[in-house]
Structure 1
Amino acid sequence: MSGLLRYLDHNASAPLLPEARDAMLEALSLVGNPSSVHAHGRAQRALLEAARDAVAALAGARRQEVVFTGSATEAIAQAVIGGARAFGVHRLVVGAGEHAAVHAAVAATGLPVTTMGLDAFGVLRIEDLVAALAAADAAGETLLVCVQAANNETGVIQPMAEIERRVGPTRHVLFVDAVQAFGRVPLDFGASATDMMAVSGHKIGAPAGIGALLVKSHCDGVRLIPGGGQEQGRRGGTEAVALIAAFGAAAKAFPGRHGAAGLEALGERLECGIMALAPDAVIFGQGAPRNLGVVNFAVPGVASSVAMMGLDLAGVSVSSGSACSSGKVAPSHVLAAMGIGRDIAGSALRVSLGWSSTQDDVDAFLNAFEQVLARHRQRRGRAA
C-alpha cells in the first residue's frame, strides 16, 4: 500500500471538517441540559439554536422548520412512518432508486406501495407519478410520495420542480430525501411545495450521528419518538448539543470549502480520465443532471470487487455503490431499476469527491486504476 491514502468516497461519509471538530470540542466542554433555564442550560441552548439557524440557511428553510434527529435514517423514518400515521395515508408512492432507509421505512408502514420507475438515465418516470395521483384521486385515497432529490449511487438529480408542480396543489404529501443534495444542490425548502425533507450531517463534514427533518407547520403532528417536549414537541430526547453544534458549523463552512466550479472541474477530470483509460467504460446516469463530483461507472469484465481490492492496496478508497449495501452480494437496486444488466452492474465503481478532494487525489485514482486495468488485460491475455 502507498504511504499516502486517498479518500474518494464522500457520498458514503465526508471527512470531518476542522470547523465541525472545533465546534464539537467547544460544546463538549460545557455542562448542562439545553432545556434547563439556568445559565448553563442557556449556554447549551444558544449553541443548539445557532446550529438550527445554520442548517436552516443551507436548506433554504425557516429555523422553526428544523427538527434535529439522531441521523438521516431516523428523519426518514419519522417522515414516512410518522407521516403515514399523521395524515391517514392510504398508499405510498416511492421511486425505484430510493435509498434503502426509505424502502425499509415504507415497508414498516405496512401500507400498499406504488413504485415509480427509472428511465435508462436514472431519472424518475413522471408518468408513473401522474398515474398514481390520478388513481388515488379516483379512489379518494391520500398518498405519501417519497422522492430522493439526488441519488446516492449515480448522483442523478431528479426533476423536483416538476414533481412539486404535480404534488404540491393536491391534498397528497411529499417527502424528499435530500441527504445527497444538501449543500451540493441549491435548496429552498421554505418556498417549495415539499412537506418534509431529510438531511444528514456526516455527508457535509459533520460527525456521524446527527441529522435533521425539515417540516412545514402543517406537519407538526408528524412524530416518531415521544418524550419531554424537545424539538418543539416533534422529537423527544435530550438533544446531542455537541453533535448539533458540529452540524451547524459544517453547514456554515461546507459551501465555501469547494466551490461548485472547482468540484465540477475535478469531476470532469475524473470522468475524462476514466474514458481515456477505458473507452468501453459505461458512465451511469451520463446524459442526466448529476450531482457534482460523483462518477459511477463500469468497465465491462472488470469485477468491482477485484477493482476495489486493487485500488485499496494502492491506498485509494472508493465504493461499489451505497455504503449501506456495498458489502452485500446483491447487485445495486438502482442500476437494476435503470435496466442495467447484472454483468455490467457487477463491475460498478462509485468515485465521489467532496470538500477535501484535490487534483492529486483524482490523478492518484487514475494511476491506480490504470494498474488495475493493466493486470486485468494481462490475465485476459494469458487466458486467451
Structure 2
Amino acid sequence: MEPRKRVYLDHNASAPLLPGARTAMADVLALTGNPNSVHAEGRALRKHIEDARTAIARLAGAQTTRAAFTGSATEAITQAIVGAARAGAIDRIITSTGEHKAVLKAAAAAGVPVNEVALSADGVIETAALGKVIADADVAGETVLVAVHWVNNETGVIQPLDEIEALLADTQHFLFVDAVQAFGKLPMKFAASRIDMAAVSAHKIAGPAGVGALFMKARCDKFVLIPGGGQEQGRRGGTESAALIAGFGKAAQDLAGAYDLERVSALTDQVERLIETHAPDAEIFGRRALRLGTTVNFAVPGLANATAMIGFDLGGVALSAGSACSSGKVSKSHVLKAMGVADEMAQCALRVSLGWTTTEADIEFFEKVLVGILAQRKSGRGAAA
C-alpha cells in the first residue's frame, strides 16, 4: 500500500532541510573534537565553523567577523535586546505591537521602559508614530533601541526598513532587525545599512533547527547574553555545535540554487486566487501592503481555525494558524489583533507558507482538500467559530 500523500505548506515555521545541509552535518558528526582546541581534530572542526560563517555573512551582505553563532534566532534576539540593556547602552526600547513574541518578551525582560508603536490595518508599522517616539527620546536625552522585524512571520508583510533607517540617521540610537523571515529571500546588505544588529535562523532557510546567528556592528560587541568561555570572539559563550553550524552554512550556500522567489510568489498568487474562487467571503490579511511572496494568511468566516487545521491535517496538508511558537496550541494571533482584526475573524485565521519544495501539484492538492473542508462547512458538519 502506497503511503498517503502529504503536502507541506508551513515553510514559515520550518523549511524542509536541503540535501546538502544534511550531508554537511553528517560529515561533521563523523569528526571528533572540540572546535576550540588547537590540535588537528579541533582545527578541522573550526574550519567547518568558519566556512559556515563566511557563507552566512555573504548571504547577509556582512563582514565575516560580524557574525556570531547562537543556539536559535530567539537567543540572538534576546542577546540583542537584553544584552543592550544589560550593557547600559540604552534607556528605552521602541518596538511595534505586531512583533514576534521573541522580540516582545525580550523587550519586557530587558528592564528598561518599552514603547509599542501601533500597526496599520494592513500590518505596517506607523512610521509617523515611531518618529514621534524617537523625537521625544531625543528631547529627553535618551538613547533608544528600535527593534522591528523585516518580514512578519504570520502575514508576510514587509516593513518599511528604509523609512525606519532614515528616522535614525545621524543619531546615536540603535536599530535591531528581526530578519528571520527575510534572510535568504530578500537582498540583505547589513554592512552598508543603518542596521546595528540582525537576527537570523538556520531552519527558516532550509538548514537545521537549533542554530541561529546575530550580526552585530562593532559598537554592539559588548552586548553579551551568555559570557561563557570566550567563544565566538567573546560575544556568545559555549562550545559551538559544529555540525549544526555546518548545516547552516551549507544551506546558505545552496539556497540560491534551490529557491526561486519568483516561482514561489506565482504559486502564492495561485493560492490566493483559489481561496477567493472557492470562498468569496474569505479575508486575506495584509493584502494591500507590500508582502513577501511566500505567505497567505486568510480567514473564512464561520470556519474555526482549530477545526480547519484538523481537516487539513487529516486531508494530508500541513499548514498553521499563525506562529509555530505556542507549544502546539492554537491561540489568538496578537499580530491580527494589532491590525484591528475582529476576534471572530482572527479565530478563523489560517497561514499557508510556501518554499523551495512547493510545487504546482501541491497547490492543486491543497485546493482539493480546501474544497472538501468548505463543503463540510456548508453542510453544517464543520464547527463554526
Question: Is 2:376 the counterpart of 1:375?
Answer: yes
Contact 1:319 1:326 in 2 (8 A): no
Contact 1:2 1:315 in 2 (8 A): no
Question: For residues 208-219 of structure 1, what are the structure 2 equivalents within 5 Å?
Answer: 208-219=209-220
Contact 1:122 1:156 in 2 (8 A): yes
Alignment-mate amino acid for residue 152 of structure 2: N
Contact 2:82 2:110 in 1 (8 A): yes
Alignment-mate amino acid for residue 68 of structure 1: F
Q: Matched residue of 2:198: which SS?
A: strand
Contact 1:295 1:350 in 2 (8 A): yes
1:352 deviation in Å?
A: 0.3
1:110 deviation in Å?
A: 2.2
For residues 201-257 of structure 1, the C-alpha deviation after alignment (integer angstroms, 9 at most, x for no partner) is 011111110000000011111101012211011111111000000000001111221
Structure 2 distance, partners of 1:30, 1:162, is 47
Q: Matched residue of 1:20: which SS?
A: helix
Alignment-mate amino acid for residue 252 of structure 1: Q
Q: TM-score, normalised by structure 2?
A: 0.97
Question: Is 2:150 the counterpart of 1:149?
Answer: yes
Structure 2 distance, partners of 1:167, 1:363, is 46
Structure 2 distance, partners of 1:294, 1:322, is 12
2:167 paired residue number: 166
1:262 paired residue number: 263
2:78 paired residue number: 77
Contact 1:65 1:217 in 2 (8 A): yes
CA shift in 2, pair 1:2/1:241, >3 Å: closer
- Bigger drift between 251-260 and 314-323 goes to 251-260
Alignment-mate amino acid for residue 222 of structure 1: F
Q: Matched residue of 2:204: which SS?
A: coil
Q: Matched residue of 1:67: which SS?
A: strand
CA shift in 2, pair 1:2/1:370, >3 Å: farther
1:61 paired residue number: 62
Q: Which runs of 5+ in 1 are unaligned?
A: none
1:169 deviation in Å?
A: 2.0
2:320 paired residue number: 319
Structure 2 distance, partners of 1:16, 1:162, is 35
Contact 2:85 2:111 in 1 (8 A): no
Question: For residues 87-236 of structure 1, what are the structure 2 equivalents within 5 Å?
Answer: 87-236=88-237
Alignment-mate amino acid for residue 173 of structure 1: F
1:335 paired residue number: 336
Structure 1 distance, partners of 2:224, 2:178, is 17
Structure 2 distance, partners of 1:87, 1:164, is 22
- Bigger drift between 10-19 and 325-334 goes to 325-334
1:325 deviation in Å?
A: 3.0
Q: Matched residue of 2:53: which SS?
A: helix
Q: Matched residue of 1:189: which SS?
A: coil
Q: Matched residue of 1:191: which SS?
A: coil
Q: TM-score, normalised by structure 1?
A: 0.97
Structure 1 distance, partners of 2:231, 2:381, is 61
Contact 2:321 2:330 in 1 (8 A): no
Number of residue pairs matched by the alignment: 383
- Bigger drift between 78-87 and 126-135 goes to 78-87
Question: Is 2:7 the counterpart of 1:25?
Answer: no
- Bigger drift between 368-377 and 162-171 goes to 162-171
Contact 2:228 2:238 in 1 (8 A): yes
2:40 paired residue number: 39
For residues 48-91 of structure 1, the C-alpha deviation after alignment (integer angstroms, 9 at most, x for no partner) is 11000110011111100100000000001100000122243111
1:42 deviation in Å?
A: 1.2
Contact 1:2 1:313 in 2 (8 A): no
1:327 deviation in Å?
A: 4.0
1:326 deviation in Å?
A: 7.8
Alignment-mate amino acid for residue 180 of structure 1: Q
Structure 1 distance, partners of 2:360, 2:214, is 35
For residues 102-151 of structure 1, the C-alpha deviation after alignment (integer angstroms, 9 at most, x for no partner) is 11111111221111110011000001111111110111111111000000
Alignment-mate amino acid for residue 229 of structure 2: G
1:284 paired residue number: 285
Q: Matched residue of 2:380: which SS?
A: helix
Alignment-mate amino acid for residue 198 of structure 2: M
Structure 1 distance, partners of 2:89, 2:27, is 43
For residues 6-49 of structure 1, the C-alpha deviation after alignment (integer angstroms, 9 at most, x for no partner) is 11000001111111100000001111111122211111111111
Structure 2 distance, partners of 1:328, 1:41, is 42
Contact 1:9 1:351 in 2 (8 A): yes
Question: Is 2:361 the counterpart of 1:360?
Answer: yes
Structure 2 distance, partners of 1:312, 1:84, is 43
Structure 2 distance, partners of 1:261, 1:330, is 32
Structure 1 distance, partners of 2:331, 2:357, is 31
User: RMSD across aligned C-alpha pairs, in angstroms?
Assistant: 1.7
1:330 deviation in Å?
A: 4.0
Percent of aligned positions with the same letter in both sequences?
A: 55
Q: Which runs of 5+ in 2 are unaligned?
A: none
